[in-house]
Amino acid sequence: MDQILQYLAQHTMAIEQLLSRGQMQREIAKSPLFNREKEKVVGFINACCLYINMRIKRSGEEEKISWVLMYVQGEVAEVWKENVLEEKRQRISAVETVKELFTKMREEFGEFNEELRKVDELRLLEQGGRTCDEYVQIFKNTSRESSYEGRSLIEEFKRGLNGNIRRRLAEVELPPVIINE
Helix axes 114-124, 132-143, angle to 10 degrees: 160
Query: What is residue 9's predicted lDDT score, i.e. its pLDDT?
Result: 60
Question: Quick one: average pLDDT of 108-114?
Answer: 68
pLDDT class for 50, splitting at 50, 70, 90?
confident
Domain boundaries, given as residue ranges, for the chain: 2-109, 114-171
Residues with Cβ < 8 Å from 54, sequence gap 6 or more? 26, 28
Q: Return all residues near 95 (Cβ < 8 A) that are at least 6 apart.
A: 65, 84, 87, 88, 101, 104
Residues 6+ apart with CB under 8 A from 132: 161, 165
Instruction: Determine the average pLDDT of the residues in 40-63.
Output: 85
Lowest mean pLDDT among 4-8, 75-79, 80-84, 142-146: 4-8
Instruction: Tell me what pLDDT residue 26 has.
Output: 47
Looking at the DSSP bridge assignments, the partners of residue 34 are 72
pLDDT band at 20 (very low <50, low <70, confident <90, very high): low
Q: Which residue has better confidence, 175 or 76?
A: 76
Digit-coded pLDDT (tens) for 138-155? 999 888 877 788 888 888
Amino acid 64: pLDDT: 92
**Considering the chain, what percentage of its residues have pLDDT values greater than 90?**
11
Runs of H (alpha helix) within 32-177: 41-55, 61-70, 75-89, 98-109, 114-124, 132-143, 150-160, 163-171
DSSP state of 142: H
Confidence of residue 127 (pLDDT cuts 50, 70, 90): very high
Kindly tell me the sign of the dihedral angle through the C-alpha atoms of 126, 127, 130, 133.
Answer: positive
Question: How far, in whole angstroms, is CA 102 from its chain's centroid?
Answer: 11
Phi, psi of 96 (to 5 degrees): -115, -20
Residue 23 confidence (pLDDT) above 60: no
Is residue 24 predicted with pLDDT exceeding 50?
A: no
**pLDDT above 60: residue 15:** no
Average pLDDT over all residues of the chain:
78
